[in-house]
Structure 1
């Protein structure tokens, strides 16, 4: 495999720790810059000192790692709007200002069209000054208008932060978008789009959009088209929840996320096409490099594709200069460069899974090759497909359990069929794409390629329907994931170095992993009360260990999609539903629910807390005088105008007021 340069690994870890420290501690950029300035001076001093000494002191190495650590923290902080002087939000003076934007990427729609847009100018309505700015934002539009990627819009500056989730364990979309470098959003109606410039239709201006349109108009069926767009161009906006769920359950979700596997196939295709240029090595290398990055451009420069493109570019360069390529060196070189360019890659799930899979293959695949290397090409292909699948699954196992809470038991059966056929599907798909762009795609090719994709979908659906082999509802905490990775690395070193201490490390990792699981179970065995935030509904949830009692108006609220994740995170095994009542004694707290009937005068029940539900028409001043509560909560079933009046009344009476629609679910 070649010599492993441990320094590249150490440099990468130093930068990574700097990024993670900045994320968890929120250190001010000014402190980091001062620290970096002092460290640079110390680094220069130790460097010049080391040039005059025969034996090196540790000062130079320490200063080097501290500097890389600080660079990691600084690059992370520089990605935030407050640290970018030309970020668009700094120049918005009022909601009457106008933004000039270009729609860059379309996201999967829900009840609205959603786009990522680049902001290039702000137009002040006060003095009619146009200011050049930078930054991206999320745009939500009605489904009806024919607005597409590439169009330029002039819109009002109704910018707001992307909201955090309002219930515990709900998917945090604001955090997800933050790691894409997007912090703000605008919700628009059709009449708020003041001006629309004609979409740029040239192929070079929006190549990915043009390719997607050519595929769409080629005549493929809906489900096959969705998979083709994901397979070739990494566009998953058309993938239905059913198809996505089936691919996830079958352990084939990597097919729909363009990554290293796809880039590797492109490299093989380019090498095959460019064989006649074998004697013109540098020309072949430059064309190969251009082809790899052209594919990355067409797939939207996703984190996994950029990582893979950089890694395969380094591999191609190593082969060009006749150097034996070490996959670990190449992987960490790509990792080091990428996280310095964009530290948010570290927090992107696709990047983590892709890196973990390749790293695991680099570690364990040589062991399998030493164990057995078949001479027969067909047997060798089958054996390597199996072993590569096992190696990749080992690496992504902790992250898969952490993010997706399931393990596909038939992943080998999936990959034995899918991986050898993926090259055919991808290469023929690129050929189909080229023909569709020039409008010369014959129907026989459309039918043939549709047939292949249809059979792929059917095979994936069959694997996904084997429920007995899909292990679901597995929850791991962050410490458990770290300990599981520690066990995997300890097993590798045990196999590689065969020393007794690594047996000890493996057992320590297993014990710590079990302790983390037991501690988590103990932590979630507590009793809690939640007044949840669900639009138009009142939901009170009482959690006692693994049992959840839900009080509400409609039994179907127990099927609220949100509860799937809530049950998993809180380790709930049973949900009971009861109709809402007016009186509760939960966790030794007396709670009175005042609903639309407006009944509250119960002298024998002295509540600690009032819950206002379904917009009761009551005089809150009088209610407070009669009941003397210590806390008032208004849930999401109330009119906004009522909530504003109640909030003012509570402020006047100096009683804490809690609005779930603003602050999220109330729990104690």
Structure 2
């Protein structure tokens, strides 16, 4: 109980986060919420008067949970009041840029900028005030630099943001909602964008961009053409579109990509720089602290003053500052205070992966750095600075590993080496860059000296990092962890952290052993009760994609839709990595409705292909060899474990024992019903021009479950209704990825 009271703010932040998560799972009216609040406060006052410490702590925990729930409810109400009715509306939009536009990663030659909506003028002359934000995509031109606060009149249609709800990737829904993002406007002709002057909004961000522009020009003149953008990104983040090709990938492979975005380590470095500078000129300690915090706030404005930067500033000042000024005992509470403030300000940050990783890394350092460093320092042959570097690198990773595996599906092998060797060079470059930034307005010769030295360190760091990233097995794919595995992982961390506690309390040790056995048995049960065949039907409409797992075998089905092909490749590839698939045993490729050759591109090796093409094009063996490296188009395929696939044009049957999946491309498989496996599930959808489902087809197949995917429209609604009429469970992938699992019969999960 003493530890709970001691770290009250940390536990309060945890309760707040639990309440935010509970909002998506439970529905409570505001009346019930008010009643619960009143009851809790009454019980709390009574327990306080009776000095019942345990009851006080429990009621406080419930209150923080209710606060998180209520805060998320308020956020949802604000979101629902945004102008969602604008979706699809065409007209001239009056907008104000909220950030400096950057190059789009999805379409070469396009720029993307986040803008605040002010007004819309419809083609009939009517206009109205509107609220919300929008992404504007427009061709890159050689005109004046666009800055925050610029007002523009943009002609076009507001298209809704399409979020594909497949697991194993960064959650963008919360990020877009926190930005009040209503959609996108695509500008094909630059003449459809007209300048409207400076609005007067976002003045601080605008001035920061002007200062950064001056620094950028100075850095680019004095440094190598590739090192200048890296230097700007190291200092202020956000310049990723200007980085040389391959830099981000190499930093990801070595586990130090976090240094390219403003985080707690940047704030700590700036605090250290300002503190050392203050002590060098012999300022009083309190003045140094005040000036350092002021400097950090100014630095955060230069870095964009967007939510991730604000989060890094608060967490950096409180948690890193706690260590800097020898307030180790308060550091966990300060971290809790930072998280609590951020969640009260914006509860949707809880779903932002950058917030999760930053908070997790900070917590890992505060919990495990000193114990790990103490253990490593006992090894006589490891130098002290290396022991501390290893402890810092490992402790920062411990809490975040499940998050990294879920979102990125890879782990770096040499992150300790890169943190010990590459990161110090980059930190020296950052210190020199900060020195150059301050001396630019006071002593130009010193600026040149600092930038020349920084250029050397950046070059050394980048070359060293390329060498490490090029080593065999620099990073390796790892599947996401199950809930039971995540529970066991964090339970082991708790056992390690409280190992002294278990040693002296026998009952607690027995309880810990019981929890460990329960989690181990849960993992064994997950493995034992795993379906013999499972099909994951992805949300990628208007295309179709499914991943079928049978033991260690993987079959992937893709029905091409040319306009969505990059999306299909990206979503399918991410999900395969999420599952930990090492290879695709058979790719089922339906290219019958595409207008031109446009094969799906996957990073997972493909062993065999069964392909169907349109009437005017034939997928020949040389085509398959050139695209996928396989020598034959297989209409029938069987593996040693008994998985059998048979193709009939654009339709396939995937079967094992008495269970089969019918992938409906419009043609019904040959033979009578009794010749096919007893238990059948159906995957399909309306084609581009006509439906594929009939009463007779369903009667013949007698599916136990169905998943509807692909193009949408009136035909889709009629076909879904037919399944319901025949009492066949059916799910539409518009509601997110669907899962069909087969044990003794098929069922939708």
Per the alignment, residue 189 of structure 1 pairs with 187
SS at match of 2:665: strand
Contact 1:552 1:579 in 2 (8 A): no
Superposed displacement of residue 310, structure 1: 2.2
1:333 paired residue among 330, 337, 348: 337
Relative distance call for 1:437 and 1:250 in structure 2 (3 A) is farther
Check 1:372–1:571 CA distance in 2 against 1; reply closer, same or farther (3 A cut).
closer
TM-score (ref. length: structure 2): 0.71
> Is the 2:88–2:158 contact (alpha carbons within 8 Å) kept by the matching residues of 1?
no
Aligned to 1:213: 213
Equivalent position of 1:290 in the other structure: 294
**2:113 aligned with 1:115:** yes
Contact map agreement 2:534 2:739 (CA 8 A) in 1 = yes
**Partner of residue 367 from structure 1, selected from 359, 367, 371:** 371
Match in the other structure for 2:173: 175
Gaps of 5+ in 2: 587-608, 613-647, 741-749
Q: Is the 8 A contact 2:116 2:134 kept in 1?
A: yes
Separation of aligned partners in 1, 2:155 and 2:504: 66
Q: CA separation in 2, counterparts of 1:357 and 1:524?
A: 33
Task: Measure, in 2, the Cα distance between the counterparts of 1:34 and 1:136.
Answer: 32
1:232 equivalenced with 2:235 (yes/no)? yes
User: Separation in 2 of the partners of 1:655 and 1:145?
Assistant: 57
Q: Is the 8 A contact 1:113 1:140 kept in 2?
A: yes
* 2:626 match: none
Distance between the aligned counterparts of 1:269 and 1:379, measured in 2? 25
Q: Deviations over 1:105-124 (max 9, x none)?
A: 54662214332222345567
Q: Residue 597 of structure 1 aligns with which residue?
A: none
| Post-superposition offset of 1:494 | 0.3
CA distance in 1, matches of 2:320, 2:582: 52
Asked if 1 retains the 8 angstrom alpha-carbon contact of 2:264 and 2:320, the reply is no
- Is 408-417 or 56-65 further displaced after alignment? 56-65
- Counterparts of 1:39 and 1:610, CA distance in 2: 46
User: Against the structure 1 CA distance between its residues 422 and 177, is the aligned structure 2 distance closer, same or farther, given a 3 Å change threshold?
Assistant: same
Contact 1:590 1:609 survives alignment (8 Å): yes
Residue 472 of structure 2 corresponds to which residue in structure 1?
467
Q: Distance in 1 between matches of 2:46 and 2:15?
A: 23
* Separation in structure 2 between the aligned mates of residue 396 and residue 479 of structure 1, nearest angstrom: 16
2:610 pairs, out of 578, 586, 605, with 578
Whether the 8 Å contact between 2:684 and 2:707 is mirrored in structure 1 is: yes
Q: Does 1:137 align with 2:205?
A: no
- Alignment partner for residue 148 of structure 1, among 146, 149, 165? 146
Q: Is the CA contact (8 Å cut-off) linking 2:412 and 2:475 kept in structure 1?
A: yes
Answer whether contact 1:43 1:60 (CA < 8 A) is retained. no
Written as runs of structure 1 = structure 2, the 5 A alignment for 1:514-593 is 514-515=520-521, 517-521=523-527, 525-529=531-535, 542-550=548-556, 560-575=569-584, 576=586, 577-580=609-612, 581-582=648-649, 583-586=651-654, 587-588=659-660, 593=665
Write the deviation string for residues 49-89 of structure 1: whole angstroms up to 9, x where unpaired.
567x4644766554433322211112122223x43586344
Query: Gaps (5+ residues) in structure 1?
Result: 595-599
Contact 1:86 1:134 in 2 (8 A): no
1:379 CA drift (Å): 4.9
- SS at the partner of 1:24? coil
Mapping 1:135-534, distance limit 5 Å: 135-143=132-140, 148-150=146-148, 151-155=150-154, 158-165=157-164, 168-169=166-167, 171=169, 174-175=172-173, 177-178=175-176, 180-191=178-189, 193=192, 195-198=194-197, 204-217=204-217, 218-219=220-221, 220-221=223-224, 223-238=226-241, 239=243, 242-275=246-279, 280-301=284-305, 305-314=309-318, 326-368=330-372, 379-434=383-438, 446-468=451-473, 470-495=475-500, 498-499=503-504, 501=506, 511=517, 514-515=520-521, 517-521=523-527, 525-529=531-535
Alignment partner, residue 12 of structure 2: 11
Deviations 1:448-477 (A, max 9, x none): 433321221121122222233534223212
Residues 525 and 240 (structure 1 numbering): CA distance in 2 closer, same or farther, change over 3 Å? farther
Shift of 1:8: 2.1
State the distance in 2 between where 1:452 and 1:530 align.
Answer: 48
Q: Kindly indicate whether the alpha-carbon contact (under 8 Å) linking 1:258 and 1:305 is maintained by their aligned counterparts in 2.
A: yes
Deviation at 1:256, TM superposition (A): 1.5
Following superposition of structure 1 onto structure 2, how do residues 648-663 of structure 1 map, counting pairs within 5 Å? none
Q: CA deviation at 1:176?
A: 5.5
Q: 2-side partners of 1:609 and 1:37: how far apart?
A: 47
Deviates more, 1:84-93 or 1:388-397: 84-93
Shift of 1:268: 0.8
Cα drift, residue 271 of structure 1? 0.8
Q: Are the structure 2 counterparts of residues 124 and 76 from structure 1 closer, same or farther at C-alpha, using a change threshold of 3 Å?
A: farther
How many Å apart are 1:277 and its aligned residue? Answer: 7.2
Report the CA distance shift for 1:369/1:176 in structure 2 as closer, same or farther (over 3 A): same
Structure 1 pair 513/261, CA: closer, same or farther in 2 (3 Å)?
farther
Q: Which region of structure 1 is more displaced relative to structure 2, 651-660 or 246-255?
A: 651-660
Shift of 1:372: 7.5
Greater relative CO, 1 or 2 (CA 8 Å, sep 6+): 1
Q: CA deviation at 1:224?
A: 2.6
Preserved CA contact (<8 Å) 2:171 2:351: no
Q: Tell me the CA shift for residue 216 of structure 1.
A: 4.4
Aligned length: 643
Alignment of 1:32-111 (within 5 A): 33-42=30-39, 45-46=42-43, 53=49, 55-56=51-52, 61-80=57-76, 82-83=77-78, 87-89=82-84, 95-96=90-91, 98-106=93-101, 109=104, 110-111=106-107
